[in-house]
Amino acid sequence: MTAAEMPGKKAAGDAALGAFREERSVRISTQQSLPKLRSRSNKRLILEYMVAGNSLTTLEAFNKFRCTALHSVISELNQFHGIVCDRKMVTCKDSQGHKSTVARYWLSQSNPGHQVAAKLLSDSAGGAK
């Protein structure tokens, strides 16, 4: 019998998951226990770059910051800090001349995430170690 088939286990798991989600949403909504950005982390470097008015694709992020998972950084900024980056799918040529579609991410001045990002960068100016 699997854990899902056991009558008491599934309900307890569902309750624990619901409590976790509720606790996490409260933490995010209160902005009190959000993690600070470490001083020279990829997340911080990329956020500083985008707040300065620049945009990035995955290849550009790798070349500039040696970041191999830009989509994960963007997702973490959204999930843990509430910063939703602007994005657009663009077509470019790869090294062999084939067309490829990639996402370009940026933070426009009118994006509410831009103000949140600037505050996050200033609040963790020293960087949490």
The structural domain count of the chain equals: 1
- Whether 69 and 77 have beta carbons less than 8 Å apart is answered as no
Domain containing 60 equals 38-129
Q: How confident is the model at residue 34 (pLDDT cuts 50, 70, 90)?
A: low
In a domain, 16, yes or no: no
In a domain, 27, yes or no: no
Task: For 39-64, write each residue's pLDDT tens digit.
Answer: 778 899 999 999 999 999 999 999 99
In a domain, 28, yes or no: no
pTM: 0.66
The Cα–Cα gap between 59 and 66 comes to 9
In a domain, 23, yes or no: no
In a domain, 58, yes or no: yes
- CATH code for the domain in which residue 69 is found: 1.10.10
